[in-house]
Amino acid sequence: MTSDARGWIGPALAVVAAVTAFRVALLALSEADLFVDEAQYWLWGQELAWGYYSKPPLIAWVIRASTGLAGSDAAFWIRLPAPLFHAATALILGAIAARLAGPRVALAVAAAWSTLPMVAVGSLLISTDTVMFPFLAAALAGYLALLSAPSGRPAVALLTGLAMGAAFLAKYAAVFPLGLAAVAALHPAARPRLRDGVLVLLGFAALATPNLIWNATNGMATLSHTVDNTGWRGGIAADPAAMLRFLGEQFLVFGPILLPALAAAALARRVPRHAGVLALLSLPIVALIAGQALISGANANWAASAYVAGTILAVAWLAGRPRWLAASFAVNGLIALALPLAATRAETLRLGDRLLLQRYVGLDELSRAILAVAETEGAAAVAANERAVLADLFHSGRDGVLPIRAWPLPGAPRNHYEQRHPYLGDAGGPVLAVSRGAAQPPCEALRSGRIEPGPGAYGATPFTWWLVPPDCWSRP
């Protein structure tokens, strides 16, 4: 790389470091409780394995490393890898852009990734997307390097495959080899040399195979859950409104200017170099998930992997339209500034009479109330029948000795807690059973009461508790 091409590195490091430092500082002040998924990933990290009920294992390993190094399981340390992983992704994408379109675009790409709305959210809450992104970006960098090399590069090919495998261990949406195979079939210039391609697949298999073996020996738990998430088993019915809603959400995920810029750049395919490859690794993913939304629904973040290549393509196109690029930075930058500030006021910031971040407060408060009742009533264990409640109970009660268990229910396990932490009737004394709604334990309670949740995730719905004998669920 020439000195001119390297000129982006210093400014990009300054921008990314400033954004990351801002996020880390406000993350320490965040009032948002651990979300259900975050608390579950933390628990997985206490039980290291090659796979888990609903996701591949990398996020659990990352959280375990962070909390282990810090010597603390506080929410800040669980979430700290998130802004750091996004900083790494921004710099990797900048390096790709420097080779494809020059230093000016490289700096803009690094800054654009750092200020994407989905990155602003993903820096506040640890998620599988966040853990996947730097490895997906590294795989893209390696793949493009293979296409540009005048001769085979076996080390790069193997590292590219390992990066793909690591991305796969973060989230199954990163089945990058399938995407590359489709791109190569449609785009002759996107076909690496045969030996390089084989080494890429070997690197990928080296990391992906242990997880596939884990699935095979655990009833295909994660893969089965992934299929369940698509909703195909419940039948398929077209819902145009769901597809339009998903497409509308992409303006919030990627940015209201970057998304149309990506579409325009894909049609133009003139800049940057390898624009056709970047287009085929971005928009088809959005189209595929839009199709999923049409037939069975889709979450807004399911197309997130499209924006790794998409950011480079969209920003390179906008670089020739500086006013629109500046407008994009203004809009996305405002969102990136507002979200972490809002999280520092999660317990009080309201929109009308509703907490703006309602989903992320009140979870710890309910857990503390349940654990207090259990202590007062002399319970030997706590059993709950709701994943969200169990997730926070495990984290909030991590320093205690009271066992937390999933309330036994008929049928196959519906979550990690029912799979790995069911109540087996082995408590040495009465059990505090907790539920909301119509569910009740299948035996006569010794005592019962109610817990009124505070403002936040559980709304005004009260929880009922019953103190039951330890063999309550094993009686005829």
Three-state SS annotation for 323-380: HHHHHHHHHHHHHHHHHHHHHCCCCCCEECCEECCHHHCCHHHHHHHHHHHHHHHCCC
pLDDT exceeds cutoff 90 at 3: no
Q: For position 229, what pLDDT does the model report?
A: 54
Regarding whether 461 and 432 lie in a shared domain, the answer is: yes
Regarding whether 372 and 337 lie in a shared domain, the answer is: no
Q: For position 274, what pLDDT does the model report?
A: 83
Q: Is residue 348 part of a domain?
A: no
Short-list 125, 24, 113, 126, CA closest to 333: 113
H or E segment and range at residue 451: strand 447-451
Calpha distance 34→246 (Å, rounded)? 26
Contact 324, 264 (CB under 8 A): no
pLDDT exceeds cutoff 80 at 184: no
Q: For position 222, what pLDDT does the model report?
A: 59
**Residue that finishes a domain, picked among 343, 377, 410:** 343
Q: Is residue 281 part of a domain?
A: yes
The lowest-confidence range among 196-205, 369-378, 428-437, 452-461 is 452-461
Calpha distance 295→236 (Å, rounded)? 5
Regarding whether 34 and 121 lie in a shared domain, the answer is: yes
Regarding whether 381 and 336 lie in a shared domain, the answer is: no
- Give the mean pLDDT of 62-78: 97
DSSP 422: B
pLDDT exceeds cutoff 80 at 314: yes
Which has more pLDDT, 108 or 281? Answer: 108
Joined tokens for residue 230: 């698509």
Q: For position 190, what pLDDT does the model report?
A: 76
pLDDT exceeds cutoff 80 at 60: yes
Q: Is residue 127 part of a domain?
A: yes
Regarding whether 34 and 162 lie in a shared domain, the answer is: yes
Regarding whether 378 and 327 lie in a shared domain, the answer is: no
- Give the mean pLDDT of 152-170: 93
Regarding whether 288 and 205 lie in a shared domain, the answer is: yes
Short-list 2, 272, 278, 317, CA closest to 143: 278
Which has more pLDDT, 230 or 425? Answer: 425
Calpha distance 388→347 (Å, rounded)? 19
Calpha distance 331→335 (Å, rounded)? 7
Q: For position 239, what pLDDT does the model report?
A: 84
Regarding whether 245 and 217 lie in a shared domain, the answer is: yes
Regarding whether 161 and 47 lie in a shared domain, the answer is: yes
Contact 453, 362 (CB under 8 A): yes
pTM, rounded to two decimals: 0.92
Could you give the C-alpha distances from 368 to 126, 216, 381, 395, 405, in angstroms and in order?
23, 38, 14, 11, 16
Mean pLDDT, all residues of the chain:
90
Number of residues written out for the chain: 476
- Give the mean pLDDT of 433-446: 90
**Residue that finishes a domain, picked among 316, 343, 370:** 343
Note the pLDDT tens digit of each residue in 14-36.
999 999 999 999 999 999 999 99
| Cis geometry, peptide bond prior to residue 403 (ω within 30 degrees of 0) | no
Q: Is residue 164 part of a domain?
A: yes
pLDDT exceeds cutoff 80 at 207: yes
Contact 51, 212 (CB under 8 A): no
Q: For position 133, what pLDDT does the model report?
A: 97
Q: For position 149, what pLDDT does the model report?
A: 77
Kindly state the percentage of the chain with pLDDT values over 90. Answer: 70
pLDDT exceeds cutoff 70 at 292: yes
pLDDT exceeds cutoff 60 at 228: no
Regarding whether 422 and 279 lie in a shared domain, the answer is: no
- Give the mean pLDDT of 238-265: 94
- Give the mean pLDDT of 427-431: 93
Q: Is residue 9 part of a domain?
A: yes
- Give the mean pLDDT of 228-232: 53
Regarding whether 388 and 292 lie in a shared domain, the answer is: no
Calpha distance 268→262 (Å, rounded)? 10
- Domain of residue 41: give its range: 5-343
Contact 170, 131 (CB under 8 A): yes
Q: For position 120, what pLDDT does the model report?
A: 97
Q: Is residue 356 part of a domain?
A: no
Regarding whether 436 and 307 lie in a shared domain, the answer is: no
Number of domains in the chain: 2
Q: Is residue 95 part of a domain?
A: yes
Q: Is residue 260 part of a domain?
A: yes
Reported as a pLDDT band with limits 50, 70 and 90, residue 187 is confident
DSSP 473: G
**Residue that finishes a domain, picked among 343, 370, 400:** 343
Which has more pLDDT, 114 or 355? Answer: 114
Reported as a pLDDT band with limits 50, 70 and 90, residue 226 is low
Q: For position 269, what pLDDT does the model report?
A: 64
Q: Letter for the amino acid at 318?
A: L
